[in-house]
Amino acid sequence: MADKVMKYITLPSHWGREVRHKYYSQESDTLVVVFPGRNYPAELPLLHYAGKSALEYGCDLLLLEYGYQSARVDLKREEMGIIEEECGQALSAVPGYKRLLFIGKSIGSVIAGRLATDYDPSVQLDCLYLTPLPETIPYIKRTGGTVIYGGGDPLFSEEDTAGIRGLTDVSLYRIDEANHSLEVGSVNESLAVLIVVNNLVHEFFRGALGS
């Protein structure tokens, strides 16, 4: 395996501040792209360990940063399209890959799903949706993939899963009582949930990579 090299892909953004996307290369033909949540950057536990797992599987890794995060301002609903466009620009800045694996958290699941449905069909692409939003459902139906959500998440109810439950190309996992961050009660209980989620992330990688 090649040595792991990390660099920043720096691009301008609509919010007047440059964004710095972390890009790890180990000369893989597979790129894992992490789409953070609204207030859940790639450094927080769910995405941090998903990214580390990607590197352990020998994949290259792109950790996206959103322009409004860099500018330390709030995101307006009408700016979602700008975020999608800027994430697409970041993807265009890295070399061509045979396989892409998208990992999206919350609004990141919406952005990942939108970009996945419009991506070059000659590239193999698989999606992992962490705590998706109802707006993600149309994209899940089109892309398939793995969905992990919390049974106590106020932003994604059991009714929201009705449209994807039972689809043959969707693996749906419910974490009982977990909130939108897939956390529960005490710290120790939340760490136990993190281990469960990380095992599901490993299943996603094994399935997508055929290992």
pLDDT tens digit string along 28-55? 999 999 999 988 999 999 999 999 999 9
Hey, where are the domains in the chain?
A: 5-209
For position 93, what pLDDT does the model report?
93
pLDDT category at 208 given cuts 50, 70, 90 is very high
For residue 68, what pLDDT band results from cuts at 50, 70 and 90? confident
Q: Is 70 exceeded by the pLDDT of residue 2?
A: no
CATH match for 5-209 among 3.40.50.1220, 3.40.50.150, 3.40.50.1820, 3.40.50.300: 3.40.50.1820
**Contact predicate 58/26, CB 8 Å:** yes
Contacts of 195 (CB under 8 A, 6+ apart): none
For 123-176, write each residue's pLDDT tens digit: 899 999 999 999 999 999 999 999 999 999 999 999 999 889 989 999 999 999
95, pLDDT greater than 90:
no
pLDDT in the model for residue 121: 86
Residue 211: the pLDDT is 67
5-11 and 30-35: which strand pairing?
A: unpaired
- Burial zone of 130 (CB within 10 Å; 0-12 exposed, 13-18 middle, 19+ buried): buried
Environment class of 131 (CB within 10 Å of its CB; exposed 0-12, middle 13-18, buried 19+) = buried
Cα 135 to the chain's mean position, in Å? 15
